[in-house]
Amino acid sequence: MTIAIYPGSFDPITKGHLDILKTGAEVFDKVIIAVAHNSEKKGFLPTDVRVQLIKESVTHLENVEVDSFEGLTIEYAKKRGAKVLIRGLRAVSDFEYELQLSQANSALSEDIKTVFLTTKPKYNFISSSTIKEIYLNNGDISKFVPAPVYDYLLKRKVC
Ligand code: ADP
């Protein structure tokens, strides 16, 4: 059984993330989508809210678990018995950072491999930061985020 971890900030989860996750769940036996908690960095949404919104957004994906972790992704992957890290690529601009990150992770543990996935073109440009920008300027984000995120942000004006 191949377990893959999809780590990230997911602040908040977007339809781009979900598309990557769906593909990951088709390719691997189990995918753990894990919110990286950084106690030194105040995010847009608290970690527990991000986790909850992901849980509500992935109920249709049976082999997906939602979790959070603190510290090194590779240590978390080892603890969970995962052999694969999933990362997404949008544009060439993502590539340099993602390549460095994957090389650093393989230097820390050769057994855990990073796999890069891409989204459908219609989700390719979506990022959490673009969504925050649109939302904070009262734009319509309904096309870019799953319904639970939209409902949460609509009800609670987060800033
Ligand atoms: P991080 O802070 O770790 O980059 P993010 O939540 O921003 O966390 O992203 C997690 C992963 O998902 C990253 O590998 C990122 O490149 C990927 N990703 C985010 N949005 C998209 C998208 N629209 N298409 C493809 N990959 C994406």
pLDDT tens track of the chain, all 159 residues? 999 999 999 999 999 999 999 999 999 999 999 999 988 888 999 999 999 999 999 999 999 999 999 999 999 999 999 999 999 999 888 999 999 999 999 999 999 999 999 999 999 999 999 999 999 999 999 999 999 999 999 988 655
Does the annotation mark 41 as catalytic? yes
Does the annotation mark 93 as catalytic? no
Task: Identify which of 159, 127, 156, 132 has the alpha carbon closest to the alpha carbon of residue 52.
Answer: 156
Query: What one-character DSSP code corresponds to residue 124?
Result: T
- What does CATH list as the number for 3-158? 3.40.50.620
| pLDDT score, position 41 | 86
8 A C-beta contact, residue 114 and residue 106? yes
| pLDDT score, position 3 | 98
Angstrom distance (rounded) from CA 61 to CA 44: 26
Does the annotation mark 90 as catalytic? yes
Angstrom distance (rounded) from CA 153 to CA 147: 10
Q: Atom 17, ligand 1: which residue's CA is nearest? A: 88
Residue with tokens 């769906």: 22
Q: Atom 1, ligand 1: which residue's CA is nearest? A: 8
Identify which of 38, 53, 90 to mutate to test ligand 1's pocket (most ligand atoms within 8 A of the CB). 90
What residues are in contact with ligand 1 under a 6 Å CB criterion?
8-10, 14, 16-17, 20, 87-88, 90, 94, 98, 119, 123-124, 126-128
Q: Which DSSP string corresponds to 10-43?
A: -TT--HHHHHHHHHHHHHSSEEEEEEEE-TTS--
